[in-house]
Each structure stands twice: as C-alpha cells, then as structure tokens.
Amino acid sequence: MTERNGHRSRVLATRAGDVELKIPKLRRGSFMPSVLEPRRRIDKALHAVVMEAYVNGVSTRSVDDLAAALGVDSGISKSEVSRICAELDEAVEAFRGRPLGHAEFPYLFLDVAYLKVRNSLSQVTSMAMVVASGVTEDGRREILGCDIGDSETEGFWQQFLASLRDRGLNGVRLVTADAHRGLNAAADRTLQGAARQRCRVHFARNLSAACPGPTSTWPPRFCGPSSPSPTPPRFATPGTRSPDSSPACSPEPAS
C-alpha cells in the first residue's frame, strides 16, 4: 500500500490540442498513466501525424506550424521532430536488412529513379535510388530492397545485388531491367545463370526518344466544344510521297 502525496502538472499535446494533466505523486514508488509514455509529451495519434507529415516532405520547421493549426499551442521543436522521426530510420533499416530466405523469387525486377536528396553537407543533390522487387512462383510480389547512391554505376549495382544475395535471395531465373551497361554487367557477375530481359516500358521510351516527333499529333490530345474539327492526316499511296511526311521519316529514293 502507498499513499498519494500531491500531484505534478504535465501538458500532453494531442490532435485535439493541449491537455493539462495532473499526475498523482506517491509517497513510495511512482505512477505513470497509460495515456503517457516516459519522456514524451505527445500522444501516439499526434506522433503518427508528425511522422506522416515528415514522410510526405514537410520540413521540421513547418511541422510546428502544422501542430499550431491542430491546436497544439505548446508547439513542437525541430529537435523533437528529429527525435520522433528517428524511429522511422530504425523501421526503414529493419525493412532493408530483413532476411529474404523465406521464399524463392525466380523473377527479379530492377529499376532506378533519380531523387533530390539532402546529403551530409546539407546540400540538395540528385542521387540514384535503386529498387528491387521480386515475384514468387505463385505470383506474389514483394519489394526486396532499395539503396541510394551517387549514380548507377556497375560497382554500385554489383554492391546492391550482392547485398540482396547475402540476405538470402535465391532462385532467380529472369532479371527484367533497362539496358544500362553497368546494371547488365553487375547482374551477369552477381546473378550467374539468370537470363536477362529488357523492360518493355524502357524499350518503348528509348524507341520514342530515337524517333523524330511530328509537328502535330493525331489524334489531338484535347478538342474542346469550340475547337474546330481536326483534319485527318493524308497518307501517301504506294510509290508516292505524302506532302505531310517529314524528310527524316520518309527519305527521298536514291536516284
């Protein structure tokens, strides 16, 4: 048995605003209500809101404005936002380092996207984010891993694929990716015995980039009610040249 010995005030920041609590003091031992956590003055709901805002690109300074809009008059400092979002780093590292030996992934898809990233010098630069996704024999798809590097060089791809293999990736029979030379060389070295297939989306983009574009598209992207009816393109009959064809697509016959 113990006895109450006064109380201590504490402000809890919630999505409904600040709530002032009076936590009882005990003569022997201590008491912490279930709604609170040690060394944290933000409830779990607002904690999740701060994380979601940070993931969607809201800066640490703007999070304080967001909290004020929710009615949190006490505010949230930048350091507190950083401490909250540090838990995200732990979750991301656990996801990236999880073992992959629970299933075989015969189909492996590799892709890269260039993102604006703030480096260790607080400079915003463009960096390559590589992503690997695998498909099991029963058709279940899973993100296997991701990593960020300066560029998609052969060494970077080889290091990334080696990390997947070290985590238990096995049974790969087909690798689908673009025609990047460094990626192809790294896949041949790391995933020996697996066939390579060029991604149809990347192939279509490369083909479109190599073909000269016409001055006008058919059909037009938008024809409003007040827009005149578009004129259909004229096609050339065999052995003749259409007056609308460009020299690059329809060269003159050799004399």
Q: Using one digit for the tens of pLDDT, what is the confidence trace for 216-231?
A: 444 444 444 444 444 5
Alpha-helical regions (H) of the chain:
44-55, 60-69, 78-96, 154-166, 181-190, 200-210
For residue 212, whether the previous peptide bond is cis, meaning omega lies within 30 degrees of 0, is no
Cα–Cα nearest to 176, from 141, 126, 212: 141
- In order of start, what are the domains of the chain with their CATH numbers? 4-95 (no CATH), 107-206 (3.30.420.10)
Task: Say how far apart CA 155 and CA 149 lie, in whole Å.
Answer: 10
Q: What is the mean pLDDT of residues 131-135?
A: 95
pLDDT of residue 22: 73
At 33, is the pLDDT very low, low, confident or very high (cuts 50, 70, 90)? low
pLDDT at 44 over 80: no
Tell me the residue type at 168: G
Residue with tokens 């590097």: 149
Confidence of residue 232 (pLDDT cuts 50, 70, 90): very low
User: How confident is residue 42, by pLDDT bands cut at 50, 70 and 90?
Assistant: low
Structure tokens at 197: 């297939």
- Decide if 159 contacts 132 (C-beta within 8 A): no
Measured distance CA(62)–CA(25) in Å, rounded: 36
- Is pTM beyond 0.85? Reply is no
For 36, other C-beta atoms within 10 Å of its C-beta total: 15
pLDDT of residue 255: 39
Within 10 angstroms of residue 254's Cβ, the number of other Cβ atoms is 4
* Structure tokens given for 43: 């409830």
**pLDDT digit string, tens, across residues 88-124:** 888 889 999 999 999 999 999 999 999 888 777 778 8
For residue 175, the cross-strand partners are: 108, 196
pLDDT of residue 105: 95
- Residue 27 token pair: 């003569």
Residues 194-221: tens digit of each pLDDT: 999 988 887 888 788 777 766 544 444 4
